[in-house]
Amino acid sequence: MIVSKKHDQVGSQLGNILRALREERGLTREWVAEHADIGLRHLAAIELGEKNPSIDTLYRLLRVLGASADRIFYPERFIKDASLEHITCLAATCTPQQRKLLIRLIEAVISNGE
């Protein structure tokens, strides 16, 4: 696999992914910037591909958005359904006992046709 070094392509792709994650979750730039502790203009520049975030900023953005870093680094492999990704991220934070309960809840919802 050949990986492009073109800064403008990488920044643009990263910004597009972060913006898509934010919009899929119905979040405003203002809310994300506040909760990730970054400036609103800085977030806008990242989303527009004008600036690349530091590792620390990227980490905070992904945590606030409830997304895996795989979504950034391997977008072609990732689940295309944002709601499934969100469920997966939430389940990953559960204890084993909570996961068992979550599985039973999902199975009950499916069996009831809701």
pLDDT digit string (tens) for 82-111?
A: 777 788 888 888 999 999 999 999 899 988
pLDDT digit string (tens) for 39-91?
A: 999 999 999 999 999 999 999 999 999 998 988 888 766 656 777 778 888 88
Question: Are the C-beta atoms of residues 48 and 40 closer than 8 Å to each other?
Answer: no
Q: Residue 33 and residue 41: Cα distance in Å, rounded?
A: 9
- Write down the pTM of the prediction: 0.62
List the one residue out of 17, 33, 32 whose CA is nearest residue 75: 17
pLDDT at position 1, please?
A: 45
